[in-house]
Structure formats: structure tokens, C-alpha cells
Structure 1
Amino acid sequence: MINQMTINGVKAVITYDPDIELFRGEFVGLNGGADFYAADVAGLKREGEISLKVFLEACQEDGVEPFKTFSGKFNVRIPPKLHSDIVSAAMAHGKSLNQWVAEVLDEAVHTRAA
């Protein structure tokens, strides 16, 4: 199971590492790695704040932009039948393929993250 947590406005994916019996947080959308470990939620928040602060300070010192930029474009490889079904669904909703896919993905991300 993968869960998310937001620390100081930055999302992190939280997983459990059974080898060390700790939860691991890893920030997403950064131009480098920033992870943190703790045994509980309070510890994750505390360690996450420290990890993020150290990462951002290092970026500032090095003159590096800490956050990735995204173009808004990505390619997805899917089976031809699914492609056909998606085009049909988009047309049935009176939308372009891009509009329909963007709405479905937005709904999926925000429904699961809630």
C-alpha cells in the first residue's frame, strides 16, 4: 500500500520498510532525493520537515532549483483495444481524447488522495 502525506506544501509518498521496521517517506517532484524514516506519523512529520529543510537549504546554497518542472505532456503505451475504448468514451462525453483523459486522471488522483 502506498500513501501520501503533505509536509510544508510538498507531497511525500509513504511506504513501510519491513527490513528496518520503519516507515519511509520520499518527497516527490524534487530535483533530487530527499527521504526520511520514522516509526510513527508524528515522527514522519518531524523527520520530513527536517529532511525538506536540509534539501531546500542545500539547493539554495548550490543555486539549484529545488522543484522539477513538468511540461504537461507524457506518452502512455496502452493496448490498442483500450485506446479504442478510451476514444469512444471521450466521444460519448463530447470531449477530445486529451480533455477526457485529463479529467479522468484528475478525478482519480484527487479521489484517491482524499
Structure 2
Amino acid sequence: MNHFEYKGYLGSVKVSVADKCMHGKIEFINDLVNYEAETVEELKKEFEASVERYLEHCKLVGKEPNKPFKGTFNIRIGHELHEKAAKRAEEIGKSLNDYIKDTIKKDIESHA
């Protein structure tokens, strides 16, 4: 595992040999939240504390916290590929959304 997980947030784990420390940030959000420590245990605690501070700050300023994964995303695949995917989905009796979702799931499971 190359990341921490806490309250639905993922945190990176990086090492700086030059600075002799570990550091990371909350991944997959639009806000920048960093943390650092000298050991993995301390880094995990700092990550969790950073998530808590981030959530508290958002509450304090009346901002909705970013969520790393909402379950939806937009992709740009070009006109030709979009058309081919829509036609293939129709051929097999699926919506385009289900076709794309099933294709991604199949690929991920085959590499797990």
C-alpha cells in the first residue's frame, strides 16, 4: 500500500532523502492539504489530523469539502470513439454508461 485511507480520503506517502523526512498530501481533491513526519506511524497520524483539520476548516468557512471520488466523471474520447462505443453498447443491449462501467470493471478485475 502506497497510501493512507481515512474517512474516504486517500493520502500519499513520499520520502525525501535530502530532507530526511516523509511527506504527503490528500490526493484526488482540488484543495491542497500537505503533511510531513519522520516515521510512517507519525505520517499516518499527521495525515489523519490533516483530514480532520481540513474538514473542520471547511465547516468553519461554510464550504463543502471536496470528496475524492463522487462516482461520476467526465471523459473526452473524441467523436469517432464515442460513436463506436454508443453503437457497441446498443448492439449488446446496454446503455453507454453501463457499457463503459462494465468495460472498466472487467479491465480492473483482470489486473487485480
TM-score by length of 1: 0.60
1:57, CA displacement in angstroms? 1.7
Give secondary structure in 2 for the equivalent of 1:55.
helix
1:37, CA displacement in angstroms? 1.9
Structure 2 residue aligned with 1:28: 27
C-alpha offsets along residues 13-50 of structure 1, whole Å, 9 cap, x if unaligned?
42424343443332235452212123443122111111
Report the RMSD for the aligned CA atoms in angstroms. Answer: 3.9
Structure 1 residue aligned with 2:12: 14
Structure 2 residue aligned with 1:76: 76
CA distance in 2 between partners of 1:111 and 1:36 (Å): 34
Structure 1 residue aligned with 2:58: 59
Identify unmatched segments of 5+ residues in structure 2: none
CA distance in 2 between partners of 1:109 and 1:100 (Å): 14
The structure-2 alpha-carbon separation of the partners of 1:102 and 1:22, relative to structure 1 and needing over 3 Å to count, comes to: farther
Contact kept in structure 2, 1:36 and 1:47, CA below 8 Å: yes
1:61, CA displacement in angstroms? 1.5
Which has the bigger relative contact order, CA under 8 A and spacing at least 6? 2
The structure-2 alpha-carbon separation of the partners of 1:72 and 1:58, relative to structure 1 and needing over 3 Å to count, comes to: same
CA distance in 1 between partners of 2:4 and 2:75 (Å): 27
CA distance in 2 between partners of 1:37 and 1:111 (Å): 35
Percent identity for Structure 1 against Structure 2: 22
Corresponding residue pairs, total: 110
CA distance in 1 between partners of 2:54 and 2:13 (Å): 20
The structure-2 alpha-carbon separation of the partners of 1:26 and 1:109, relative to structure 1 and needing over 3 Å to count, comes to: farther
CA distance in 2 between partners of 1:21 and 1:110 (Å): 37
Structure 1 residue aligned with 2:40: 41
